[in-house]
Amino acid sequence: MASSNRPLLIPSPKTPSSIDFTSIPTLAELMKSGSHGGGRGGGGMTAPSVSGMDSNNHPVDGSVHTESTARSSSRRSAGTYQSRGSAAHSSVRDVNFGDLGSRIQRHESRRAPEFEGYGTSQKEIDDDNARWIYINDPVKTNQKYEFTGNSIRTSKYTFISFIPRNLFEQFHRIAYIYFLVIAILNQLPQLAVFGRGASILPLAIVLFVSAIKDAYEDLRRHRGDRIENNRLGLVLVNGKFQEKKWKYIQVGEIMKVPSNQSLPCDIVLLSTSDPTGVAYVQTINLDGESNLKTRYAKQETLMKNPEKENISGIIKCEKPNRNIYGFQANMEIDGKKMSLGPSNIILRGCELKNTEWAIGVAVYAGQETKAMLNSSGAPSKRSRLETQMNREIILLSLFLVALCTVVSALFGVWLVNHKDELNDLPYYRKEDYSEPREVESYNYYGVGLEIFFTFLMAVIVFQIMIPISLYISMELVRVGQAYFMVGDGQMYDEASHARFQCRALNINEDLGQIKYVFSDKTGTLTENKMEFDCASIYGVDYSTGTSRKLSDQASYSVRVDDQIFRPKMKVKVDTELEVLAKGRTGTNEGEHIHNFFLALAACNTIVPIVTDTDDPTVKLIDYQGESPDEQALVYSAAAYGFMLIQRTSGHIVIDVQGEKQRFDVLGLHEFDSDRKRMSVILGFPDKTVKVFVKGADTAMFGIINSLNPDVITATKAHLHKYSSIGLRTLVIGMRELNGSEFEQWQSSYEAASTALMGRAAKLRHVASNIEKNIQILGASGIEDKLQEGVPEAIESLRVAGIKVWVLTGDKQETAISIGYSSKLLTNEMKQIVINGSSKDMCRRRLQEALTMSRNRKAMSGGAPNNDETSGDDPSLLALIIDGTSLVYILDSELEEELFLLACECAVVLCCRVAPLQKAGVVSLIKNRTDDMTLAIGDGANDVSMIQVADVGVGISGQEGRQAVMASDFAVGQFRFLVPLLLVHGHWNYQRMGNMILYNFYRNAVWVLLLFWYTLYTAYSLTTAVTEWSSMLYSVIYTSIPTIVVGILDKDLSRRTLLSYPQLYGAGQREECYNSKLFWVTMADTVWQSAVVFFIPLAAYWKTTVDGSALGDLWTLAAVVMVNLHLAMDVIRWNWIMHTAIWGSIVATFICVIAIDAVPILPGYWAVFHAMGNSAFWLCMIGVPMVGMIPRFVVKYVSQYYCPSDIQIAREAEKYNEEGSWIREGSVVEMSWISSPPPAR
Instruction: Look at the chain and count its residues.
Output: 1240
The count of other CB atoms within 10 Å of the CB of residue 555 is: 18
Check if the beta carbon of residue 506 is closer than 8 Å to that of residue 605.
no
CA distance 1210 to 1221: 12
Give the number of other Cβ atoms within 10 Å of residue 776's Cβ.
Answer: 27
In the DSSP assignment, the letter for residue 651 is E
List phi, psi (to 5°) of 142.
-95, 10
Exactly one of 61, 274, 510, 520 is catalytic; which is it?
520
Give the span between the Cα atoms of 625 and 497, in whole angstroms.
Answer: 22
For residues 1105 and 1170, is the Cβ–Cβ distance under 8 A?
Answer: yes
Q: Residue 333, Cα to own-chain centre: how many angstroms?
A: 43
Neighbours of 1207 (CB within 10 A): 15
Helix (H) or strand (E) holding 646: strand 642-647
Q: Which of 265, 457, 440 is nearest to 348 (CA)?
A: 265
Helix (H) or strand (E) segment spanning residue 652: strand 651-656
520 is catalytic: yes
Distance CA 987, CA 981 (A): 9
Residues 6+ apart with CB under 8 A from 536: 542, 543, 714, 715, 718, 719, 722, 778, 779, 780, 781
Give the separation between CA 1001 and CA 989, rounded to whole angstroms.
18
User: What are the two backbone dihedrals, phi and then psi, of residue 781, each rounded to the nearest 5 degrees?
Assistant: -125, 120
Q: Where are the beta strands (DSSP E) in 184-328?
A: 232-237, 240-245, 254-258, 266-272, 278-282, 292-296, 314-318
β-pair partners for 669: 107, 679
Q: In what order do the strands lie in the sheet with 278-282?
A: 292-296, 278-282, 351-353
| Residues whose CB falls within 8 Å of the CB of residue 77, separated by 6 or more in sequence, listed in order | 8, 9, 28, 35, 36, 39
Q: How far apart, in Å, are the Cα atoms of 538 and each of 585, 780, 783, 1107?
A: 17, 11, 21, 100
Beta bridge partners of 733: 693, 776
Torsion angle of the four alpha carbons 1129, 1131, 1134, 1137, in this order, in degrees rounded to the nearest 10: -20
Distances (CA, A) of 1065 to 427, 953, 1059, 1231: 56, 21, 14, 9
| Cα dist from 898 to 845, 931, 1213, whole Å | 10, 17, 43
Are β-strands 659-669 and 103-107 bridged in parallel, bridged antiparallel, or unpaired?
Answer: parallel
Is residue 212 within a helix (H) or strand (E), and if so which, with residue range? helix 196-229
Please enumerate in sequence order all residues whose Cβ is within 8 A of that of 1114, keeping only pairs 6 or more positions apart, or say none.
1009, 1013, 1024, 1025, 1092, 1093, 1096
> Nearest-CA neighbor of 518 among 917, 836, 1060?
917
Q: Which residues are catalytic?
A: 520
